[in-house]
Homo-oligomer: A and B are copies of this chain.
Amino acid sequence: MITPWKEIQREQVFKKYSRTIMRVDFRMPDGSISDFYIKNEKPAVATVALTSDNEIILVEQFRPGPQKIFLELPGGYVNDNEPALESAKRELLEETGYTGDFEQVTTCFDDAYSTMVRTVVIARNCSKINDQALEQHEYADVHLVSIDEFRNILRSGKMTDVEVGYLGLDYLNLL
């Protein structure tokens, strides 16, 4: 039987901008104490957004971890005290100028060694109401792709939120 490990203590061991590493000591099921270096990451949100023509709204961006250009789902971090659905609306509007009818699908977890919780959102009937309003160091070109093209992008794995793409399509009965 699997039991939760008991946290004994935690300490911040690295921080620069939003990149934070915590040393967390756990008492293990065998009674020993072990140190783990956990990524302390803020909650995030990503949206599968459909236009009224049933096209998916994606943003082409350079990603500095993989060092690749991907067609990504609109999204970003949830601000303090901001409901995740509001973050999804704000990010879609900033990154693409579009808005629509938003619905929360579920939350998911990125990584066994990260605190990251990602809220999965879908938006229907999206239309363009504004220009993009990108943050500093944000470069994003908007693309509209068909559901078939989107499915092929998911299958290729060339996107950092593939799970959100599938969860959104599954919720929309589009798989």
Task: Give residues of chain A (94-112) contacting chain B, Cβ–Cβ below 8 Å.
Answer: 106-112
Q: Which residue of B lies closest to A119 (CB)?
A: B157
Please report the C-alpha to C-alpha distance between residue A36 and residue B26 in the assembled complex, in whole angstroms.
30
Q: State the number of copies, please.
A: 2
Report which A residues bind B (CB closer than 8 A).
1-5, 7, 13-14, 16-17, 19, 21, 23-24, 26, 28-29, 34, 36-39, 60-70, 72, 106-117, 120, 137, 139-141, 154-160, 162-163, 166-167, 170-171, 175
Q: A116 touches which one: B65, B72, B162 (CB < 8 A)?
A: B65
Bound-complex Cα distance A45 to B129 (A)? 42
In the assembled complex, the Cα of A112 lies from the Cα of B68 at a distance in Å of 9
Contact A2–B111 (Cβ < 8 Å): no
- Rounded to whole Å, the gap between the CB of A121 and the closest CB of chain B is 12
Q: Which residue of B lies closest to A1 (CB)?
A: B141
Q: How far is the CB of A7 from chain B (nearest CB, A)?
A: 7
Q: Is the CB of A65 within 8 A of B37?
A: no
